Structure 1
Amino acid sequence: MTETDLVPVFDGHNDTLLRLYQSKEADVEKLFIEGTQGGHIDLPRAKKGGFAGGMFAIFPPPVEKTKRAAVPPAPSDNEPLPPELPRSEALTSTIAMASILFRLERAGALTVCRSAGDVRDAMAKGSIAAVFHIEGVEAIDPELTMLDVLHAAGLRSLGIVWSRPNAFGNGVPFRFPSSPDTGPGLTDAGKALVKACNQLKIMIDLSHLNEKGFRDVAEISDAPLVATHSNVHAICGHSRNLTDWQLGAIRESGGMVGLNFATGFLREDGRMNADTSLEIMVRHVDSLLQALGEDGVGLGSDFDGAMIPAVIGDVAGLPKLIDALAARGFGRALIEKIAYRNWIGMLEKTIG
Structure 2
Amino acid sequence: MVFDVKRPLIPDIASAAGVSTATVDRVLNRRAGVRRVTLHRVLQAALQIGYLDESEVNRRLGPAFSKVVFLLPQGTNPYLTGLNVYVRALAEQSVEPIKVRSHFIESFNPDALVRALRRYGKTSDVIVFMAIEHPKVRQVIDELVHAGKRVITVISDLPTSNRHAYIGIDNFAAGRTAAKVMGRFCRAPRGKLALVAASRAYRAPRGKLALVAASRAYRAHMEREMGFLALIEESFPHLTVIGPQEGHDNRDENYVNTCRLLEQHDDLVGIYNVGGSSDGIGRALRELKRSDDICFIGHGLTPDTRTMLIEGIMDLVITQSPSAIYAQALQLASDERYESSAIAMELYFAENLPAASPWLP
TM-score by length of 1: 0.31
Structure 1 or 2: larger strand share?
A: 2
Relative to the length of structure 2, the TM-score reads 0.31
Structure with greater Cα Rg: 2
Higher relative contact order (CA 8 A, sep 6+): 1
